[in-house]
Structure 1
Amino acid sequence: MYEPIRTKAVDPRIGVHRSDYPRSSRSEALDIQLGGHLAALLTVTDELGLDGAAAEIAAQVTRLRGSQPARASRRAGSDEASLHRRAHDLAARALLVAASRADTTVAILAAERMDAHAAALDFAGAH
C-alpha cells in the first residue's frame, strides 16, 4: 500500500555524535527541578516574612545548587491567603520531587511547610 523508503535518513548534525551533546542524568534533572521548586517556595516564604522557614529552605537550595539563592523582600499589602496557597502548592511539588530522588531531608521540610501553610489557611478561614 505504501511505498517503502529507499533513501537513507538525513541527519542535519553531520559530523556530530550524540555523545557531543551535554546530557544530564535523571538524578541531575531531579536536582535541578527540586532546586527550582524550593527557590520558588523560598521567594513566597520570604514574601510572607517567615524568616525561620526561609532560612531552612535557603540552606537546602544552597546544598542543591551550590550557591546562595536570590532572596525576596516582604511585600506590603500582599494577599496572605493567596501566598499561603501558592506556598502550599510549591511545597507539594517539592515533596513529590524529593520523594522521587529519595531526599528525606527535603521531603520532611516540604511536608512541614505544607502543614504550616494549610494551618495558616484554616486559621484565616476561621476568622
Structure 2
Amino acid sequence: MYEPIRTKSVHSTMAATVAGVPSRSREEELDIQLAGHLAALLAVTDELGLSEAGDAIAAQVARLRGGMPPVRHAGLSRLSVAALHARAHALAGRALVVAASRADTSAAILAASRMDAHSAAAAAS
C-alpha cells in the first residue's frame, strides 16, 4: 500500500544544519527594509532641496541604523520637479507600508506627512 520515505527530504536547507550561519529576525529585516526606503526618499528629498524634511528623514534613517547617519549627496537625476515629487510620493508610500507592518509610529507619521506634502506639491505644479 504505502511505502515510507527512506531518504532525506530535498526540502531541508543547509542553513538548518550548519552552525554559525547568521540569520535575522523579522524585525531586523523590516528595519533594514524601512531604512532603505527612507534613504531612497532622502535622496529624492535632497534633490528637491527640501533640507528641513531631509533632516527629519535622516534622523529616522540614523535611528534605524543604530545611530549611524546616512550619507547625503544630492545626485542630479535631471527629472522634472513633478516627476521627483511623484517618485518621492511612491517611496514615502513604500516606507509607510513597512513602518505600519513594523508598528513604527514615528516613521509611519513621517512617511504619511511626506506623502501628503509631495501629493500637494505635485497638484500645485
Structure 2 match to 1:35: 35
Matching of residues 1-127 of structure 1 within 5 Å: 6-8=6-8, 17-66=17-66, 67-73=68-74, 75=76, 77-124=78-125
Moved over 6 A (4+): none
Q: Sort the Cα spacing of 1:76 and 1:8 in 2 relative to 1 into closer, same or farther, 3 A.
A: closer
TM-score normalised to structure 1 length:
0.83
Over the matched positions of the two proteins, sequence identity in percent amounts to 61
Larger Rg: 1
SS state at 2:27 partner:
helix
Q: Are the aligned partners of 1:48 and 1:74 in contact in 2 as well (CA < 8 Å)?
A: no
Q: Are the aligned partners of 1:49 and 1:74 in contact in 2 as well (CA < 8 Å)?
A: no
**Offset at 1:21?**
1.2
* Cα-to-partner distance string for 1:88-119 (whole Å, 9 max, x where unaligned): 00000000111111111010000000000000
| Unmatched runs of 5 consecutive residues or more in structure 1 | none
**Offset at 1:17?**
2.6
Q: Sort the Cα spacing of 1:121 and 1:26 in 2 relative to 1 into closer, same or farther, 3 A.
A: same
Tell me how many residue pairs correspond in the alignment.
Answer: 122
